[in-house]
Structure 1
Amino acid sequence: MSHPWYQHYEEGVPRDFQAVAEPIYAALRRSAERFPDRLAVEFVGARFTYKELWSRVNRFAHALQDLGVRQGDRVSIMLPNTPQFVIAFYGAALAGAIVVNTSPLYVSRELEHQLVDSGSETLVMLDAFYPRYEEIQDKVPVKRVIVTGLQDALPFPKNVLYPLKARKDGTFVKVKARGSVYDWRALLAKSGGQPLPIKVHPQEVALLQYTGGTTGTPKGAMLTHVNLASNTAQCRAWMPGLKDGEEIMLAAIPFFHVYGMTTAMNLGISIAASLVLLPNPRDIKMLLSAIDQHRPSVFPGVPTLYNAINQHPDITRYDLTSIKACISGSAPLPAETARKFRELTGGANLVEGYGLTEASPVTHVNPVHGDQRDGIGLPLPGVDSRVVNEAGEEAAQGEIGELWLSGPNVMSGYWRRPQESAKTLCEKDGRTWLLTGDMAVMDHGGYFRIVDRKKDLIIAGGYNIYPREVEEVLYRHPAVLEAAVIGVPDEYRGESVKAFVVFKPGQSATPEELKTLCRRELSPYKVPRSFEVRAELPKTAVGKILRRRLHDEEIAKVGVGT
């Protein structure tokens, strides 16, 4: 196939790309060997080098093996961006386990589903989240829980003061080590140096990253070591100006999201960057202070994060000029957001990219210094991209069709769901293609633009929200007869969730009652911001609710084109 996008690659970006056939932890080991004394992690004043990081990863891998974790076992990590996340991720991989990224935002019901579906027997979690696990501990296959707290990563005296502050705020949770519950610090303190040698084949699964995919049913995308290592290298190749051992990476986007894991953690580790970890990206004041103090050069993020910076009332008090490159993902980047951010930073290149969980996740990015166009940009080195029409043939330039992707970063399938895998992956022209479900168009220069997203998918603040899951919660209310959930335009979040409900005859409920139900059953970002009561919902001839018609009505109200 032709690759018209090659002509727009920046100088130094390779046109030929070979899959990186190595375990994901190999990059960390290499950085520790090349730059042992380089600062690896900075976390609220705690600092340690690449040599120290590699040592802790080895100790954690050894500790997992001592606890009975064997090759191929699943280890769920439910942590914010902390040193413990980095150690647990690479340590589990080094022990031969499969990491299962678990959102700290999950409520007990969501946590139960993921632990059961993945078959995770080990859970690494923050002490503050432990009560959610207690609610479902008898329903999941977990055999051991490793509990850590933010204080475990803090230097003196912050490690002493933090529990006092948390108690005052009512957020402190004391979890005692007992039976199958282990204390993080004690576990690492008694662990030996080197783990038992495990031969990890690069084609083995390294990560289960849960996603709704194209159907809305949560399932684990199986990402191999090759997938993760290759996508890290592809992102590195896109920015040839980065210098090993010299960059500072602002790690604000969550590592439990594969976008943050690849573009902040794995990419940063691979170039021996200093990672400035922020546990709460919504704390914009802390984020701005970190930029001003630590002078990061690379800052991957999402549009809502950059928009929040742009709109902060005290933005002029902070120096943002150290930032050189920013890749924005997870949602469309408004042109005005990019323009204002470049202005505030003195010319930092903020460009839009595209990806999806099933591709580890980055596939397209606009040139950081070259010709930037409206849309998702050009395929990364090693990514073949085509637009396919309804006849199953490659569409002509300028013609709309489904976006298909192929490359070493494409998943091997969905965990224990062969039928779903067969719907999303297909073999054609001697290679495996990922059918994204996104409608796209490619111009004559090889630049791609998404015309419409996966059917019914809502993206709010960079998070994917599947209407079906929210609707199922609403149907649990005894007064609700019908429910439909859509995304409506939101200047700040991109989209926000709106629910339409039809009540049973003679029954009703207030919006606050419905919202309370949703708050109990869903992560905060999935909870509808607004509700509308209707006598009936639009349906097809066979009775299927037409979410798209509701969406079109909302768009017409605000005068926004689709």
Structure 2
Amino acid sequence: MAVVRAVASGSCLFRLLVERPVGDSAFVLVSPDLTAYSLTCGELRVDAERFSVFLRERGVGPGQAVAVLLDHSRELLALMLGIWHRGAVAVPLFTELGPEAVAHRLGRSGAELVFTSVEQSSKAAGVPGVEVVVVDGDGAMGADVFAARGDVGEPASYAPDAAIACLFTSGTTGVPKGVPVTMAMTDVFRAGLSCCADARPNDLLWVQSPPAWGYFVFFGLLAALLEGVPSLVLCGAAPSPALVRDVLHAHPVTNFASVPTMYRALRDEAPPDPMRHMVRRCLSSGEPLPEPVREWCEEVLGPVSDALGQTETGGWFLANADSSALVAAGQTQRPQPRSAMAVLPGFDVRVLELETADPAPAGVAGRIALRVPTSPLMAFPGYLDDPEQTAVRYPHGPEWYVTGDAGVLGDGGLITPLGRADDLIISRGFNVAPAEMEAVLLRHPAVAEAAAVGVPDDRHGQALVLQAVPAAGVGGEVEGLSAELKAFVEADYGDPVPIREVRIVAELPRTVTGKIRRMLLEP
């Protein structure tokens, strides 16, 4: 399938998002009591245009950063589109962040305006040079940002390399970095929604993700509007496993996208009833989906696909989906084994050796990298005001963008991701990915969650420490369970890496997106 860029010079993002029949459903807003309101394209356009006028009166113009610190809501959607009507740069912020983290992101992005709620306003109130506006709130910071204010004016256009948003990385590997999201990346969003989520017009898509993460911004918001796919948005409550299950039961979701942590929680805490509703396509992203969870998901929820991508790349570049779009691109069936992924159209993905730009031999762990000259959808402009961290992504010059993920090249050009390259355990001359060892441990019925980390070993270079969270109802003596699990892994995996111990822990340190924070695992 040839990749044709849809973004022309001077594209008007706002028109691309809303110029559909006014009565078409843009979003299905679901409340905690499971009632729903269909927000039409016409209503969304009116809300956004009114907010755009408010921004114009505040002096906001093209290229200026405007922050939004809100949970999922009709207001959040309108604010994002109003920012794009002005040609400005949207900076969505995660509401679970503390004041220091909010201040860091506001300072890095250069935002001088932040729109928020009464509950969140204190987090930004003391940041120098930043005006806080409480949406529809009372008091000095309150403002009715959706009041009619006269002539709307023409929406602004963006050059392909102009930023439409600034998102921040999750901080899995250190200090969160600002990623300018450019107009050109909208092509990646559209391709990802089609190839990975298999979403089509008249479907009901639910990207179950906080509004500040690329997962939602790229796919649940931008790609959904660009492709004309109604998108479900859960408003007014945190997405507990029980509430997610109830929403899936109550509404005809056809495409459900979430992270392994949620799929695992659904299985363990609130399993849906397959007789009530099964979706046509589940999607998992963020970290490898454990095989036991995948098997449960396909039995209870529906077919599940894995995808690997980054905020920096505008979304996914590897997937094991079997969508119609990938079939059209020449991938006639889902990759086997299920952990292997095919390269998505528009990207040239390779596995390089750990230290050089030479290709890693098939079957040997290396670093996943994108070859920029032959990746027409690669549009990463570099981290925001951070040339040093940008250079880390290009250690061999501009030809290769090194993702930081480890992987193995297999048959037919398929690539099996193995987690972060920095986490590879090198022992006795073998490169072993923590995900491989964790997958073995998760096959034991007494284990709910697992993590692996390498520790220095004078004889072998590195040894392995495993951490296990017991499954619900598992009791007994800790030392006995630890010894049992150590013997189980050694018998299953063999002996390429010496296992120093298996620790029984109550929980694993994770980012807000559910990824394991290995830097916080005690060696």
What is the SS of the residue equivalent to 2:318? Answer: strand
Equivalent residue for 1:303, pick from 260, 281, 291? 260
Equivalent residue for 1:145, pick from 101, 116, 132? 132
What is the SS of the residue equivalent to 1:189? Answer: coil
CA displacement, residues 343-370 of structure 1 (integer Å, 9 cap, x when unaligned): 113xx22111111221122111112353
Quote how far apart the aligned CAs of 1:110 are: 0.8
- Provide TM-score, normalisation by structure 2: 0.74
1: CA distance, partners of 2:43 / 2:9: 20
| 1:176 equivalent in alignment to 2:167 | no
Contact 1:326-1:350 within 8 A present in 2 as well: yes
Task: Give the letter aligned to residue 374 of structure 1.
Answer: R
Quote how far apart the aligned CAs of 1:226 are: 0.7
| 1:253 equivalent in alignment to 2:212 | no
Task: Give the letter aligned to residue 102 of structure 1.
Answer: L
| CA distance 1:28–1:443, shift in 2 (3 Å) | farther
| 1:21 equivalent in alignment to 2:12 | no
Task: Give the letter aligned to residue 383 of structure 1.
Answer: F
1: CA distance, partners of 2:86 / 2:69: 18
Contact 2:207-2:215 within 8 A present in 1 as well: no
User: Which residue of structure 2 lines up, in the alignment, with residue 552 of structure 1?
Assistant: 465
Equivalent residue for 2:389, pick from 420, 441, 448? 420
User: Which residue of structure 2 lines up, in the alignment, with residue 273 of structure 1?
Assistant: 229
Quote how far apart the aligned CAs of 1:187 are: 1.7
Contact 1:248-1:276 within 8 A present in 2 as well: yes
- Identity between Structure 1 and Structure 2 (%): 20
| 1:367 equivalent in alignment to 2:321 | yes
Equivalent residue for 2:40, pick from 49, 62, 78? 49
| 1:451 equivalent in alignment to 2:418 | yes
What is the SS of the residue equivalent to 1:81? Answer: coil
Contact 1:23-1:226 within 8 A present in 2 as well: no
2: CA distance, partners of 1:413 / 1:343: 42
Matches within 5 A, 1:503-514: none
2: CA distance, partners of 1:363 / 1:288: 29
Quote how far apart the aligned CAs of 1:550 are: 8.8
| 1:403 equivalent in alignment to 2:368 | yes
| 1:352 equivalent in alignment to 2:309 | no
Quote how far apart the aligned CAs of 1:315 are: 3.1
Considering only aligned residues, what root-mean-square deviation do their CA atoms show, in Å? 3.3
2: CA distance, partners of 1:441 / 1:130: 46
1: CA distance, partners of 2:385 / 2:75: 29
Contact 2:27-2:230 within 8 A present in 1 as well: yes
Contact 1:23-1:201 within 8 A present in 2 as well: yes
What is the SS of the residue equivalent to 1:127? Answer: coil
What is the SS of the residue equivalent to 2:28? Answer: strand
Task: Give the letter aligned to residue 386 of structure 2.
Answer: R
1: CA distance, partners of 2:16 / 2:405: 37
Equivalent residue for 1:284, pick from 241, 244, 248? 241
Quote how far apart the aligned CAs of 1:104 are: 0.8
Quote how far apart the aligned CAs of 1:182 are: 3.7
Contact 2:351-2:409 within 8 A present in 1 as well: yes
| CA distance 1:539–1:292, shift in 2 (3 Å) | closer
Task: Give the letter aligned to residue 414 of structure 1.
Answer: Y
Equivalent residue for 1:200, pick from 142, 158, 161? 158
Contact 2:115-2:133 within 8 A present in 1 as well: yes
| 1:211 equivalent in alignment to 2:199 | no
- The answer to which structure has the higher helix fraction is 1
| CA distance 1:215–1:284, shift in 2 (3 Å) | closer
User: Which residue of structure 2 lines up, in the alignment, with residue 190 of structure 1?
Assistant: 148
User: Which residue of structure 2 lines up, in the alignment, with residue 40 of structure 1?
Assistant: 26
User: Which residue of structure 1 lines up, in the alignment, with residue 86 of structure 2?
Assistant: 95
Quote how far apart the aligned CAs of 1:387 are: 1.0
Quote how far apart the aligned CAs of 1:204 are: 0.5
User: Which residue of structure 1 lines up, in the alignment, with residue 404 of structure 2?
Assistant: 437
Aligned residue pairs total 432
Q: Larger relative CO (CA 8 A, sep 6+): 1 or 2?
A: 1
- Provide TM-score, normalisation by structure 1: 0.69
Contact 1:211-1:218 within 8 A present in 2 as well: yes
Unaligned runs of 5+ in 1: 1-13, 153-174, 458-488, 499-537, 542-547
Task: Give the letter aligned to residue 311 of structure 1.
Answer: D
Quote how far apart the aligned CAs of 1:298 are: 0.8
1: CA distance, partners of 2:176 / 2:82: 26
Task: Give the letter aligned to residue 465 of structure 2.
Answer: D
Task: Give the letter aligned to residue 362 of structure 1.
Answer: W
1: CA distance, partners of 2:253 / 2:4: 30
What is the SS of the residue equivalent to 2:287? Answer: coil
| CA distance 1:30–1:353, shift in 2 (3 Å) | same
Quote how far apart the aligned CAs of 1:454 are: 4.2
Quote how far apart the aligned CAs of 1:215 are: 5.5
| 1:74 equivalent in alignment to 2:28 | no
What is the SS of the residue equivalent to 2:258? Answer: coil
| CA distance 1:85–1:96, shift in 2 (3 Å) | same
2: CA distance, partners of 1:442 / 1:198: 44
Matches within 5 A, 1:478-517: none
Quote how far apart the aligned CAs of 1:264 are: 2.0
2: CA distance, partners of 1:73 / 1:364: 33
Task: Give the letter aligned to residue 440 of structure 1.
Answer: G
Task: Give the letter aligned to residue 141 of structure 1.
Answer: G
CA displacement, residues 403-430 of structure 1 (integer Å, 9 cap, x when unaligned): 11243244100111112212213676xx
2: CA distance, partners of 1:350 / 1:70: 42
CA displacement, residues 33-73 of structure 1 (integer Å, 9 cap, x when unaligned): 33321222222233321121122222222221211112211
What is the SS of the residue equivalent to 1:76? Answer: strand
Unaligned runs of 5+ in 2: 324-332, 425-440, 469-481, 498-523
What is the SS of the residue equivalent to 1:358? Answer: coil
Task: Give the letter aligned to residue 97 of structure 2.
Answer: Y
Task: Give the letter aligned to residue 84 of structure 1.
Answer: E
Contact 1:236-1:267 within 8 A present in 2 as well: yes
2: CA distance, partners of 1:114 / 1:285: 32
Contact 1:354-1:363 within 8 A present in 2 as well: yes
Contact 1:125-1:147 within 8 A present in 2 as well: yes
